[in-house]
Chain A
Amino acid sequence: MNDNILTPEQVVEQFQQCLGDGLQASRIVKRSEGLKSAESIQIWLTIDKTKIKIAVQQLCDIQYPHLSVISGCDMGEGIELLYHFFIYYGVARGEYSVTIRTTLPKTDLIIDTITDLIPGALTSEREKQEFFGLQVLNIPDSRRMFLPDDFPEGVYPWRKDETGIKEEMVKKLHEVGKAEGAQRRAKNK
């Protein structure tokens, strides 16, 4: 952990240095809420998927980050993964949100694990595996987490293409018994 606290621009610069071309885009958002208008800082980085480990290592060098979650989005031709990190926690108003975005093309849904650097990422990575159908390389535990073992293979709930949820799998709870109920009411009248 470094004692001197970097400005958001310096953080981006450090990533620029270690990733080179791998850093595809960066954006710093400052938003404020409440009366005192304290600004909260969000750093959004878009990187190449092969550089994910270097990026996380870089983040660890700045301060061991808190990983909130890995979220994802099916963008049609590829799946976008977002790693939501936070650094400089424990200091009043000092925290930066660092979101690392990377796109996996649907033809090549493989990404390196970051569990060797951050063991707590395991839950999130297992979840992404079962919900997006991607493959995390070297994951220490690749069992299903939330879905049961007999969930059909090749169906990934968060995908928006043909591997997503099909309409016939959806149960409409609010329709159950409605017609019979109406008949009962009519009879009582």
Chain B
Amino acid sequence: MKESVVSAKKPIKTVIGPIHPALKEPIKFIFEIDGEKVIKVDLAPGHNHRGLEWMATRRNAVQTLYVSERICGICSISHSIAYCRAIEQAADIEVPVRADYLRTIFAEMERIHSHLLWAGVAALELGFDTLFYKAWEVREDLMDLLEYLTGNRVNYGVLQIGGVRRDITPDQHARINKSLLNYTILFDELYDMFLEDTVLRMRCRDTGVLTPEDALKLCTVGPVIRASGIATDVRQDFPYCAYGDLDIKAITPEALAGEVHGDVFDRIIVRLLEVKQSIEIIQQSMKKMPIGPLTNFPKLMVLLNHIKQAEGEGIGRHEAPRGEVFHYIRLAANQESPLVWKVKASTYSNAMSWVKMLEGEQIADIPIIVASVDPCISCTDRVAMVDKGRTSIFTQDDLRRLSRKKTERIRQGLK
């Protein structure tokens, strides 16, 4: 009886987010729903704006480097690589070759951990806790390795403008090689668990399809566009760091299945194959890495003065785990902070493709489709700033006072 009311002509509006268990980050979707089917999707981002680009114009380049690392905790290396490359181009700073290789190694490790993280979260969205635990067990091992090499599990802080801060010493090689070997084995197991599971395939095949034409038109990047069959990858097309030496090939689902659906399952395939590729890249770079200095600016204050004097503009790109990140920086002479810093994160480009993927799908598929893009809202939302009108500030203060009072009361009650 109730059902017929709902599936009558007028679709109901449902808001998902900004706080929702499926979304680890705040973003709001407004859905128009008919029964279980999604009719219309609207996106309201902006809950995560911290105004980073504006902050950068009040700080010096080194301070901003660490802010760039914290644009997103998962792509922490990606954004700082792009930021460093942009500022290096703008201030004409040379990077030693060894530093380029080290950046490559750290970036690829981050890709492995990010893809495994994504695989786990995707399993969680599908209600498959065991697979989530399994994927994160493998990832946890990698986090140990990253902590061993960089000193932190998430925000590595290894990059510096003009080079890197930490070296990989020869006695660390053994540990890395051992772990990499371990991953190849574990990877095969994960591969089996993800791609051979019938239930998983039932859920992901032909769900959230994005055609190559739409993918191009909506400017999507990274695994999303590759899963739609377009072999574009910044590492391959526009080589930087050490990628020019390593012959990278963009991965499309054709490599495995011989056909492209552009659905969620294809995105799983692309990401899993990229994990394998990253392991190979790290192994190659470890072999090819030359001996040399880590940075041409060992004194930080010299670097800061150099940037202060410099004038120019630069763009930095990096193929982050979720796709291309793009930084544009313009420096003005005799000014510590950059004139402008523009950040484009991968999800910023991919956000529009959600609308196309979600329309006509079921409610149950919303989380996995949203997750299939591997959204990183903190990346996307880093820009804008929010301010409340005066009147509402008062009411909020009232609210806060009330809530404080209530807590006090409870604490009294507890005693």
Minimum CB–CB distance for B86 against chain A, Å: 11
Chain B residues lying within 8 Å of A177, measured Cβ to Cβ, are none
* Contact of A137 with B by CB under 8 A: no
Question: CB-CB contacts of B233-261 with A at 8 A, as 1s and 0s?
Answer: 01011111111110111100000000000
The docked-state distance in angstroms from the alpha carbon of A26 to that of B184 is 48
* Contact of B60 with A by CB under 8 A: no
Evaluate contact between B385 and A165: CB separation under 8 angstroms.
Answer: yes
Question: CB-CB contacts of B40-69 with A at 8 A, as 1s and 0s?
Answer: 000001100101011000000000000000
Given A69-B326, A120-B218, A123-B352, decide whether A93 and B239 contact each other with a Cβ distance below 8 A.
yes
* Contact of B349 with A by CB under 8 A: yes
Most buried by A among B328, B385, B386: B385
Evaluate contact between A68 and B326: CB separation under 8 angstroms.
Answer: yes
Q: Contact residue range for chain A?
A: 35 or more
Evaluate contact between B244 and A93: CB separation under 8 angstroms.
Answer: yes
Evaluate contact between B97 and A35: CB separation under 8 angstroms.
Answer: yes
Evaluate contact between B241 and A35: CB separation under 8 angstroms.
Answer: no
The docked-state distance in angstroms from the alpha carbon of A71 to that of B53 is 11
Give the contacting residue for B387; candidates A72, A90, A146, A151; CB below 8 A.
Answer: A151
Evaluate contact between A151 and B386: CB separation under 8 angstroms.
Answer: yes
* Stretch from A3-11, A36-44, A46-54 forming part of the interface with B: A36-44
Chain A residues lying within 8 Å of B249, measured Cβ to Cβ, are 92
Minimum CB–CB distance for B100 against chain A, Å: 5
Evaluate contact between A121 and B219: CB separation under 8 angstroms.
Answer: yes
The docked-state distance in angstroms from the alpha carbon of A37 to that of B388 is 51
Chain B residues lying within 8 Å of A69, measured Cβ to Cβ, are 326, 328, 342, 344, 348-349
Look across to chain B and name the residue whose beta carbon is closest to the beta carbon of A147.
B384
* Contact of A18 with B by CB under 8 A: no
* Stretch from A81-89, A103-111, A178-186 forming part of the interface with B: A81-89
Chain B residues lying within 8 Å of A84, measured Cβ to Cβ, are 315, 326, 328
Given A66-B219, A120-B218, decide whether A152 and B349 contact each other with a Cβ distance below 8 A.
no
Given A35-B97, A40-B238, A118-B217, decide whether A157 and B245 contact each other with a Cβ distance below 8 A.
no
Look across to chain B and name the residue whose beta carbon is closest to the beta carbon of A64.
B216
Chain A residues lying within 8 Å of B218, measured Cβ to Cβ, are 119-120
* Contact of A31 with B by CB under 8 A: yes
Look across to chain A and name the residue whose beta carbon is closest to the beta carbon of B345.
A69
Question: CB-CB contacts of A116-145 with B at 8 A, as 1s and 0s?
Answer: 001111110001001100000000000011
Question: CB-CB contacts of B189-229 with A at 8 A, as 1s and 0s?
Answer: 00000000000000000000000000011111100000000
* Contact of A176 with B by CB under 8 A: no
Evaluate contact between B219 and A152: CB separation under 8 angstroms.
Answer: no
The docked-state distance in angstroms from the alpha carbon of A155 to that of B51 is 14
The docked-state distance in angstroms from the alpha carbon of A24 to that of B100 is 36
Chain B residues lying within 8 Å of A36, measured Cβ to Cβ, are 244-245
Minimum CB–CB distance for B259 against chain A, Å: 19
Given A72-B340, A120-B219, A147-B46, decide whether A34 and B387 contact each other with a Cβ distance below 8 A.
no
The docked-state distance in angstroms from the alpha carbon of A31 to that of B247 is 18
The docked-state distance in angstroms from the alpha carbon of A131 to that of B95 is 34
* Contact of B290 with A by CB under 8 A: yes
The docked-state distance in angstroms from the alpha carbon of A92 to that of B236 is 5
22 pairs from A and B in contact (CB 8 Å cutoff): A31-B89, A34-B239, A40-B238, A66-B232, A67-B219, A82-B328, A84-B326, A84-B328, A86-B238, A88-B237, A89-B232, A89-B237, A90-B232, A92-B247, A95-B238, A119-B218, A122-B352, A131-B384, A147-B384, A147-B385, A157-B385, A158-B53
| Contacts from A to B (Cβ < 8 Å) | 31-38, 40, 42, 64, 66-69, 71-74, 82, 84, 86, 88-95, 97, 99, 118-123, 127, 130-131, 144-148, 150-152, 155, 157-158, 165, 169
Extra A-B contacts (8), CB below 8 Å, given A34-B244, A152-B387: A66-B216, A68-B349, A69-B326, A89-B232, A95-B237, A120-B349, A155-B387, A157-B384
| Contacts from B to A (Cβ < 8 Å) | 45-46, 49, 51, 53-54, 89, 95, 97, 100, 216-221, 230-232, 234, 236-245, 247-250, 288, 290, 315, 317, 324, 326, 328, 330, 339-340, 342, 344, 348-349, 351-352, 381, 383-389, 392
